[in-house]
Amino acid sequence: MGNNILKPNPAIDLSIKQTTVFLTILLMFVCFSPFPVWAEVTNEDCLACHSDKDLEAETERGKTLKLFVPEDALKGSAHEDLSCTDCHKAESDSVFEDVPHGTKEKPVRIDCAECHDYIYGRFIKTDIHGRAYHAGNPRAPYCSHCHGGHDILPLSSPQSRMSKKNMADDCGQCHGQEELNLEDNITKRNLITRYKESVHYRAILEGKNGASCTDCHSHHNILSSAEPGSWVARTTIMDVCHTCHPNQVRTYKDGPHGRTLAHGNNDVPNCTICHGDHDMASLKTRVGDAKQWASTQVCIWCHNNARMMARYGLDTIPVQSYMKDFHGLTQRGTMGASATCSDCHDAHHALPADHPSSRMHISNRGAACGRCHGKVTETFAMSFTHRKAMEIPGVKVENIIRTLYIIIIVCSVLGMFGYNFIVWLWSVRRKFKMQRDKKQVFRMSPYERTSHMILFITISLLVITGFALKFPEAFWARWLFVLGMTEPVRAFIHRFAAVVMTFNLIFFGFYMVLRKRGRDLFRELLPRKRDFSDFTKSLKFYLGTSKEERRPKYGIFSFVEKFEFWALVWGTIIMVLSGLILWFPKALPVTWPSWAINVARVFHYYEALLATLAIIIWHGYHTIFHPEEYPMNTSWITGYITEEEAKHHFEDEAIEKMKKEKK
């Protein structure tokens, strides 16, 4: 038995030591591990506070931030199966025990990269938004700015922020603000507004497969159009358009514009130059039978630029000849049903006329014209061309005929006008002679006639020189320029005439105040109740609805003359005040608004237009073209009218007053 005394078992002793070491290591791991080993934060823990609808916080910028999160916030979203801490990451769960959560040293962040590492990597490294966000730009968007927060829906959902229909508004959160676009050096304006007017967005609204923002700009690797590799760079945007428009892009690349652009020439247009960028337009759009004028304008922008065309040995004759041809005239007018540039030359494959595949090649031109005109002859097809005149057989004959007709027209018009003017002068002399042989009634004093003559001359000069500035391309304005009326000369004549007219009317105002004759005129020119009655009676008489056999007789001044006088006073005040502002804009008080000059310009032009039309249509008719006055009322020259004319126009009391004025 003595030999069976128990002794320590070495194996058991070793096991105890190992267990002790293991427990020691486990204890150290629990104490110093960076990973939490206590209970994780659950959704219920978060909702204990965040289910409070009044829960708010203040951001570093002083804005109030709502922190309420409903229990079903993730229901129906792409993240429905995730918990709060799956997205809201912290260094340890203990961070969430503090309120507010996180500090600058231990922040709480939204970590999308844990699940979307590939996309997030592209966003941070490549995308212009990601680079700006990584650089600390406070305006740069993060994932949640575009995709949403708790309400992120699958991309297949029509309600998703990233759906084609909603994407414009989602991007418009930033790009719809012009001040933000300006701060970030985005030079184009009204991006979202213009996009919503495009054929792409209208197609989306109609349930078709229109292009959205990401279809053109890409998703998470958006680059500026100036950066290499950008989808919307000048030379690569064709590949983007190719996705939906393969045939058009293929023919464009094979055409002269596409081949030239591929060699690095930026003068030639690409897809967006012709169709627009965000306001993409279909140049096939019609309003009834009228094609858009824009389908012609896009070609004119370049081909009517003389300097650009000269770089390539071309000229602007094609545009000029088109504008004068039937097609161009109807395009410029309201019909718009005729051929545009692209109808004849093929919009995307515009080859030179000498190319065998060109629509305008001699072998193909008949078929091209036949698309609108049906079967045509070679003579008809060859009669429409943009080539220079000396290059076309038989055009010299056209030039001779054209020149002859211009000479014939000028001589005929001058001859007819000259003859009619001679006849008119004879009629004037005849009327003067007839009036001298009859009793006369005083109408205008020498001063009044002189003032009227000055007014006639100055207004004529103001009209000519004023409208020459407004319509510099009018043929008569060009003739005046050829005759020596350069801009300094025009400006001097206009301002000199304005000064003379103004002082003439000021002196006439003094005349009406200081002279008895003037005061009598002023009283007679004041509007009275009977003027409205005279107007009504005259209108009924001329319409044939009056029982009277003759029109009513007037006082010394009829309602027609009173209307002219007060219109002259009103118009002169507006023209003088607006003219002074335009003449001396730097003299305006600093307190005046900046739009004062533009408003003065509008007043000046439209009042001048109104006055000119009133003088021609109203005053001209009643003093020259009225059957009772033709060839003209001579009182502005002689100062008198015949007693017979006075009895026809004026009542007896007015005639007696005029006779007293003569004495």
Condensed to tens digits (0 to 9), the pLDDT of residues 426-439 reads 999 999 998 888 88
492 or 389, greater pLDDT: 492
- Measured CA to CA, the distance from residue 448 to residue 98 in angstroms comes to 96
CA-closest candidate to residue 381, choices 366, 368, 393: 366
In Å, what is the CA distance from 529 to each residue of 326, 424, 448, 540? 56, 38, 27, 17
In Å, what is the CA distance from 2 to each residue of 5, 8, 9, 10, 153? 6, 16, 18, 21, 83
Predicted pLDDT of residue 565: 95
The pLDDT of 532-543, averaged and rounded, is 92
In Å, what is the CA distance from 94 to each residue of 29, 40, 86, 503? 17, 9, 15, 90
Grade residue 390 by pLDDT with cuts at 50, 70 and 90: very low
Predicted pLDDT of residue 385: 78
Residue 303 pLDDT more than 70?
Answer: yes
- Residue 149, token pair as written in the block: 């927060």
Grade residue 46 by pLDDT with cuts at 50, 70 and 90: confident
Task: Give percent of the chain above pLDDT 90.
Answer: 42
398 or 258, greater pLDDT: 258
Nearby residues of 45 by Cβ (< 8 Å), 6 or more positions away: 96
The pLDDT of 439-465, averaged and rounded, is 94
SS (H, E, C) 640-653: EEEHHHHHHHECHH
The pLDDT of 177-196, averaged and rounded, is 86
Task: Give percent of the chain above pLDDT 70.
Answer: 89
The pLDDT of 377-406, averaged and rounded, is 75
Predicted pLDDT of residue 606: 96
Grade residue 334 by pLDDT with cuts at 50, 70 and 90: low
Q: What is the mean pLDDT of the chain?
A: 86
Predicted pLDDT of residue 35: 47
Residue 2 pLDDT more than 50?
Answer: no
Q: Helices (DSSP H) in 551-618: which residue ranges?
A: 559-583, 596-614
Q: Which of 57-61, 107-111, 220-224 has the lowest mean pLDDT?
A: 57-61
Predicted pLDDT of residue 3: 45
For residue range 558-585, list pLDDT tens digits in order: 999 999 999 999 999 999 999 999 999 9
The pLDDT of 78-105, averaged and rounded, is 79
Look up the pTM and report it.
0.65
Predicted pLDDT of residue 425: 94
Amino acid sitting at position 35: F
397 or 500, greater pLDDT: 500
Predicted pLDDT of residue 23: 60
- Residue 591, token pair as written in the block: 């307190």
118 or 102, greater pLDDT: 118
- Residue 256, token pair as written in the block: 């002269």
Helix H or strand E segment including 290: strand 290-291
In Å, what is the CA distance from 184 to each residue of 177, 178, 193, 195, 217? 11, 10, 19, 19, 17
Task: Indicate the pairing of strand 64-66 with strand 56-58.
Answer: antiparallel
For residue range 140-152, list pLDDT tens digits in order: 888 888 898 888 8
Predicted pLDDT of residue 91: 74
- Check whether the bond before 158 is cis (ω within 30° of 0): no
- Measured CA to CA, the distance from residue 661 to residue 663 in angstroms comes to 5
Predicted pLDDT of residue 184: 80
- Measured CA to CA, the distance from residue 651 to residue 658 in angstroms comes to 11
Q: Under the phi-then-psi rule, with left for phi > 0, alpha for psi from -120 to 50, and beta for the rest, what region is 177?
A: beta
Predicted pLDDT of residue 7: 47
Residue 359 pLDDT more than 70?
Answer: yes
Residue 295 pLDDT more than 60?
Answer: yes
Predicted pLDDT of residue 585: 92
Domains, the chain = 32-111 (no CATH), 159-267 (no CATH), 283-392 (no CATH), 438-662 (1.20.950.20)
Q: Which residues of 12-39 are buried (b: 16+ CB within 10 A; e: fewer)?
A: eeeeeeeeeeeeeeeeeeeeeeeeeeee
212 or 335, greater pLDDT: 212
- Residue 616, token pair as written in the block: 């021609």
- Measured CA to CA, the distance from residue 204 to residue 229 in angstroms comes to 27
- Measured CA to CA, the distance from residue 597 to residue 584 in angstroms comes to 10
Grade residue 515 by pLDDT with cuts at 50, 70 and 90: very high
Residue 470 pLDDT more than 80?
Answer: yes
463 or 293, greater pLDDT: 463
Amino acid sitting at position 583: W
Q: Which of 305-309, 485-489, 590-594 has the lowest mean pLDDT?
A: 590-594
The pLDDT of 505-523, averaged and rounded, is 94
Q: Helices (DSSP H) in 176-305: which residue ranges?
A: 178-183, 191-195, 199-205, 213-217, 237-242, 246-254, 256-262, 271-275, 294-303
Residue 5 pLDDT more than 80?
Answer: no
Residue 626 pLDDT more than 80?
Answer: yes
- Residue 10, token pair as written in the block: 């070495």
CA-closest candidate to residue 269, choices 309, 234, 224: 234
